Structure formats: C-alpha cells, structure tokens
Amino acid sequence: MSVIRPVCHNDLAGLMALAAKTGGGLTSLPEDEQTLSERIDRSIKTWRGECPKSQQGYVFVLELPDSGQIAGICAIEVAVGLEEPWYNFRVGSQVHASRQLDVYNHLATLSLSNDHTGVSELCTLFLDPDCRGNKNGQLLSKSRLLFLASFRQHFSSHVVAEMRGVSDQQQESPFWNSVGKHFFSMDFGRADFLSGTGHKAFIAELMPKHPLYVHYLTGEAQDVIGQVHPDTAPARALLESEGFRYRNYIDIFDGGPTLECELAQIRAVRHSRLVSAEIGSPPENAPLCLVASQNYHDFRTLLAPADPRTGHVYLTADRAAHLQADAGDMLRIVTLSPKDSSDDVIN
C-alpha cells in the first residue's frame, strides 16, 4: 500500500535519493541538499500560512508505510511568476506575403512569454523507477487534483503543468542545442541545474527578446517542440485524461509542452464527492478510487476499491489508519480511471 502525505523535514534524505535517480532534466528536483531543504521548509510554511502568495507551494511525498521509503514526490505551486518571472515560449506564427510575386509564407515562431503569471502549477512529479507499478504513478499524479478540489480557495482558477521535454541519457537536448545553447553559452545540464536551484536571473538577461523563426532551428529541434521525454509520456497521458491540453506553450530549455486546464473543468475536481467513512469490507467488483482525507494540515490520499455512487466509502482498518480517518469522517472520493466516472458533475 502507498500513501500520499505532506512533506516533512525528515524526508530530506529520501528526496536526495530520488533526485539522484532523475537523470537530470527535472528542474524542480535538483540533486542539491540546500535547495531541497529550502523547498521542504517553504512547503511547511505554506501549510502554516506563513508565506505570501508569491512564495506558496505545497510538496507531497509518496510513502511506502511498511518500509518508510519515500518513493515519489509531487507538488503544486500556488501562483507562478509573482516573485520571479515564469518564462515559456509561445508557439505562434507570422505571415510573409507578396501579392505582386504571388508568395504567401506562414512561418512558425517562438516568442518569450509570461502569459501564465499568477496561475497554479502542478510540478515536481517523479516516481522511483523501482516503484513504477501498482498504480503508484496514477496515485502520485492525481492525488494533487483531490487537494485542489478540496481546498480550491487557495489556488488560481487556471492550472498548468510543464512537461519534461526530450533529452538523452547524456543530458543532450536537441531543442537546447538549437536554441538556448547559442544564448546562454553553457550546456543544458548546467542551465537546468541553475534554474532548479533558484538562479534564474540569467534567463531574463540572456534570452532573446524578439520572436525566433522555427524554420531556423535544426530538424531535430523542430521535431521535439511540444514533445515529452519518454519517461514523461505516461504523466502526460494521465493529465490529458483529466482534461489538460497543450495550447502552444513550451519550455524555454527543452521544448517540452505546457498542459493547461481550468481548475473547475478537471475531471477529478468535477466528479469527486464527499462521502462518509465506514470501517468494513468494500463491495465486490467496486472500481479503484482515489480516497482523500479532508484534513488540510495533514492531508492523506490512497487507493481503495469503492462504490462512488453511494454516500459512504468502506475502508479496511489498515486503510483507515493510513488516512488517519475514523468512522463518520468525511472523505473525498473519485474513481481513479475516467472511464469509471459518472456523467454527473458533483462537488
């Protein structure tokens, strides 16, 4: 059994071990103890109400209770770009035409953008490769959606998620080699590390201020615009199944897509409902559901078979203990798979 819970200071060693397994390219999970310690501290202060909105961010970990292992991490930034600019490229176009010559060229462009300033961001999703099974990836990614559903007053009405772009095992990124390398004069890994550890001033100082024509990029770079790293493909599919879509914004470093959705239109938000906890055996053939406690300061989520059409959820004593739930407590529930969702919109 796996449980999602808020990060705590004792998780630092576990997060360092996770960061060592990312292979680079995950900007928000650098293998840097000071950065991760500060991230944990900021998350705890966010839950305590001690951070201004511009600094608020929630970090969750996936814990294996039997061993205490920290097997995954996910996070939500409350409002990006309010303190440090949040950059991406907007993929647009320019038309060059001459009636006299009967020439009409529709050319793709990349323009530096801050269009997502102030929106909430799903970020820092990583699951230990040794624990990729038993629906852990879905639990890790979608648990955040139930937190958004239960405590939406803390977040923007619009939610985005930057997806990791294409790079190889040597941290070579075709997009970076064709774009960023020429402006930053450093390799992709170095730029990625600096950005992940909070040193972002160089982005504003060195990035091009005028649109770039996509046709000037190498063919390899053009091919990866809006594409994800193979390891990130399942995470993209999960978010798209919840209603997120690519709307022509990409990461300035690796060209990975930014997915977007209105908070109220996220499937898990629209179809989740509050039910009463009961201790007992779940009904036979019940679909697998995300079940979350409603304790803001000690939020918990796990997977359990349940019938979402009723006003209660039956939990084994073990699952109830991991949720820190007693009989009669209100829990938020939604089917893990969209195909099992009701067509009714329930909040």
Q: Which residues are catalytic?
A: 229
Report whether 184 contacts 21 (CB < 8 A).
no
Q: What is the DSSP string of 257-288?
A: EEEEEEGGG-HHHHH-EEEEEEESPPPTTPPE
Half-sphere exposure of 310 (CA within 13 A, CB side): 14
| Dist. CA 341–CA 302, nearest whole Å | 18
Nearest to 166 by CA among 113, 227, 118, 108: 227
Cβ(270)–Cβ(332) under 8 Å? no
How far CA 338 is from CA of 175, 240, 273, in Å, comes to 34, 11, 14
Burial call 167-197: b when 16+ CB within 10 Å, e when fewer:
beeebebbbbbbbbeebbebbbbebbbbbbb
Ramachandran angles phi, psi of 41, nearest 5°: -60, -40
Residues 6+ apart with CB under 8 A from 202: 184, 191, 194
**Strands, E assignment, the chain:** 3-6, 57-64, 69-77, 88-98, 103-113, 120-127, 158-162, 212-213, 245-250, 257-262, 273-279, 288-293, 301-305, 312-315, 330-335
CA-wise closest residue to 175 among 124, 201, 212: 212
